[in-house]
Structure 1
Amino acid sequence: MTRTTRIRSGLLGLAIALLSPLAVQAQMAHQHGSDAACEGTELRCATKATPFFAEDGKLWLAWMAGGRVSVASSTDGGKTYSAAVPVTEQQLNLDWGPDARPKLVVDGKGAVVVAFSVFRDQAFNGQVLYTRSDDGGKSFATPRPITSDNESQRFEALALDQDGTVFVAWLDKRNRVPAKAAGRPYEGAGLFFSSSRDGGATYAEATLAQDNTCECCRLGLAFAGPGRPVIVFRNIFEGSVRDHAVVTFSDLGTPGEIYRVSTDDWQIKACPHQGPSLAVAPSGTYHVAWFTNGKARKGLFYAHSRDGGRTFSEPMAMGQADRNPTRPYVLVTSDATTLAWKEFDGERTTVMVMQSKDDGETWSKPRAVASTDNASDHPLLVANGRQVLLSWMTKAGGYRLQAIGDES
């Protein structure tokens, strides 16, 4: 097997492998072992890295390497970084699934809030942990579970409201216990949420937003307005159809009605391990990008909603189908809506980008902005004011944060 074939297998094989518990363990272990550039905890050894720009323009970065989550900051746009600070004193069995990564936000008072998940056993049952720094990232409190429940939690999403409230959502399997006790089947996991009004020091009791969602995909999280989170997630519809849905909260504790993003008709009793991306424009438009392998459509797609998620536009295909387009990400700034994703031509993985200047109605032609011939993280987009940047970790080239420019 060639090196490039192994990389491609890492992108496609996991969903198939999940049909067998032994196969998934072997596949995920292989992928984890092949992604890291080195064995240390420094940034160049990372497999996943997540950026965040604070209000003052300082760049913060969280990454996972060597069994630890570390944090550093940069005042020159990522050219140089402060000394890395680990958020844990010991190595952990970090969740290294394809859609797992550390999350962080920094509030207006300088509190650095971090969340991540770990595996508690060989069956991939997880636990979401959180920590914070109140001294500008010089030290972090001992990580604590986001909930006292002992069942599996994974795929946390973290966002900062306008008033500094931290909102967190995750996938949680606690409801399988009473279902099993009652002799009822239980499919998927519950979408749970909580919030913190003290800078991530403590969180409210976990609350269920939707049960029986797909249990193994990242969540898309944004705000439709102050105190109104929006979550896009892969739901389980009737007949084990795993298509995407959206829920908009009326306030931080009250989820609204569930609406379907599109009818892709992906009927599968396994884990796609490829979740959606969400951005909400100042106009109120919801922008969603996702992957599907359904009967109705296959590949990457984008759609928008101008009525609070009740209805969405006809899905627009993204990427070249013969180049295995994967891992879409959408970002909104005051100037443009930007989409990014990965493609693989058999030799190289390339990050493609296209932009819209009219709130998702029309789009520029896709263009390549970065590439690698080795393993890589998912491409992320981040904004520093009006500037849009690509955040990407590759095994061969390390971490890069590059301006992608404006496609006029």
Structure 2
Amino acid sequence: MNARAALCLALLLAAACDRGPRTAAGAPPPGPRAAAATFAAAAWPLPASGVAAQPDLVAAPDGSLLLSWIEPLGRGHALKFARWRDGAWSAPAEIARGDDWFVNWADVPHLAVGADGALWAHWLRKSAAAKYAYDVVLSRSGDGGRRWSAPIRVNDDGTPTEHGFVSLWPAGGDRLGIAWLDGRRTGGGHGGHAGHAGAMSLRAATFDAALRRHDERELDAMTCDCCQTDAAPTARGPLLVYRDRTPEEIRDIVATRLEGGAWTGPRPVHADGWKMPACPVNGPAVAARGDAAAVAWYTAAGGEPAVKLARSDDAGERFAAPATLDRGAAVQGRVDVAHAGDAVWALWLREDARGQALQLARWTPDLRRETQRLEVARLHGRGRATGFARLAVAGDALHVVWTDVVDGEPRLSGARVQARR
């Protein structure tokens, strides 16, 4: 059986394996099951047909989806993207290429659409010979991705240290908001895996159409060193989530929001109390609609891996007690989350003796009840090689993309999740 046929079979089997609804405590709800739509996953062919990895998937305001990925290119790499609109993909287009990039399974490039319709992209470029010496660079396209500006460096500290794990959001007008983990005080060490002089910090800024920097500031002077950040626009301003770090090595998830030109102080999404002396490389994800926000994350507090999901009804001021989506040794995290009108969807990864599997759960908007769970796909790869899957909503369908390893090569795969008709 070839790889494509195997994927299709896996998706069909997965669609048949959905579980019944669950309450926030993980037990089946009492009484008869309410009539509700059930969802199934089907293969979604992607335009990246060759060796590719590090996907990003973004829903645009016009209802289209933007997919980006990295391809090897001789001695370097190329960042490419394509747009899904009206049931078809545009031809892949190149954003940038280079032979001095930092390419990593967890710290991947992102796309964003500005309020003025411009496209923005970031990637990582080596700044010195040290393994973790690299900068964030940013480029803009005002014509739908046909031409891209010369990249500018987002961090301007000039230190040969780590800068990455970026979040992007539209900042109004022609501006883009950007946050990143900044290693200017680490003295060249990398996270909790090697000794360093200082802590990783979190910084944010905005850039305008001329790629001029505005309002740069430090948001947190001590964060987890190599966990993804994420941001979502709310009715009160962009909400940014990340894994914090205390001097006692507690690495829980916190949130901050930009409102009225000022960032709020970091607020815990939930006090897991996870004491972790090294970076787990497992950041949170956030989705928002109006004042409603949902955050998904991984923790191993108490020695038990788990994926949790919490809701805020006031744009991140306060979060309710979380629901536990999954727990146990097989839980790997690598989460994503999306709002889809009448539901919140959460995505995460499991790995057991049979291999890796992408799990998807659908919850009521108040996060009081899980209405369906799907195994989206069984992967061929294991460990870090499969990276982080992404999901986004377009129309009446949820879309998932991920990296798999087929015949020893990284390849992109996709699935569409829709109500059964």
With the shorter chain as reference, the TM-score category is 0.7 to 0.9
CA contact (8 A) 1:241 1:266 kept: yes
Q: Do the aligned partners of residues 304 and 157 (structure 1) sit closer, same or farther apart at CA in structure 2, a change above 3 Å counting? A: same
Distance 1:236 1:320, change over 3 A: closer
Q: How many aligned positions are there?
A: 355
Match of 2:412 in 1: 399
RMSD, aligned α-carbons:
2.7
Instruction: Report the Cα offset of residue 407 of structure 1.
Output: 8.6
1:209 aligns with 2:219: yes
Q: How much does 1:186 deviate?
A: 5.5
Contact 1:192 1:206 in 2 (8 A): yes
Matches within 5 A, 1:117-132: 117-120=124-127, 121-132=129-140
1:249 aligns with: 258
The residue identity in structure 1 corresponding to 2:338 is L
Deviations 1:76-98 (A, max 9, x none): 4675441431413x3223231x4
Q: Check conservation: 1:353, 1:366, Cα contact below 8 A.
A: yes
Which residue does the alignment assign to 1:33?
none
**Residues 307 and 331 in structure 2, CA contact (< 8 A), matched pair in contact too:** no
Is 1:272 the counterpart of 2:283? The answer is no
For residue 150 of structure 1, give the secondary structure of its aligned residue in structure 2: coil
Residue 46 (structure 1) shift: 1.4
Match of 2:53 in 1: 47
Q: Against the structure 1 CA distance between its residues 175 and 377, is the aligned structure 2 distance closer, same or farther, given a 3 Å change threshold?
A: closer
**Aligned partners of 2:323 and 2:367 also within 8 Å:** no
Superposed, 1:92-107 pairs within 5 Å as 92-96=100-104, 98-107=105-114
Residue 372, structure 1, aligned to residue 379, structure 2: yes
Match of 1:140 in 2: 148
Q: Distance in 2 between matches of 1:390 and 1:249?
A: 29
Contact 1:78 1:401 in 2 (8 A): no
- What's the CA shift string for 1:14-42, capped at 9, x where partnerless? xxxxxxxxxxxxxxxxxxxxxxxxxxxx6
Task: Identify the structure with bigger relative contact order (alpha carbons < 8 Å, sequence gap 6+).
Answer: 2
Q: Percent identity?
A: 21
CA 1:187–1:77: 2 relative to 1, 3 Å: farther
Q: For residue 268 of structure 2, what is the aligned residue in structure 1? A: 260
| Counterpart AA for 1:268 | M
Matches for 1:164-175 after TM superposition, within 5 Å: 165-175=175-185
Assess, with a 3 A threshold, how the Cα gap between structure 1 residues 164 and 304 changes in structure 2: closer, same or farther: farther
Matched, 1:61 2:74: no
Deviation at residue 203 of structure 1 after TM alignment: 2.8
One-letter amino acid matched to 1:159: W
Q: Counterpart of 1:190?
A: 201
The equivalent position to 1:232 in structure 2, one of 241, 250, 254, is 241
Given residue 199 of structure 2, which amino acid in structure 1 is its aligned partner? G
CA distance in 2 between counterparts of 1:77 and 1:348 reads 35
Q: Which runs of 5 or more residues in structure 1 are unaligned? A: 1-41, 178-184
Residue segments in structure 2 that go unaligned for 5+ positions in a row: 1-47, 188-195
Determine which structure has the larger strand proportion and give its number: 2
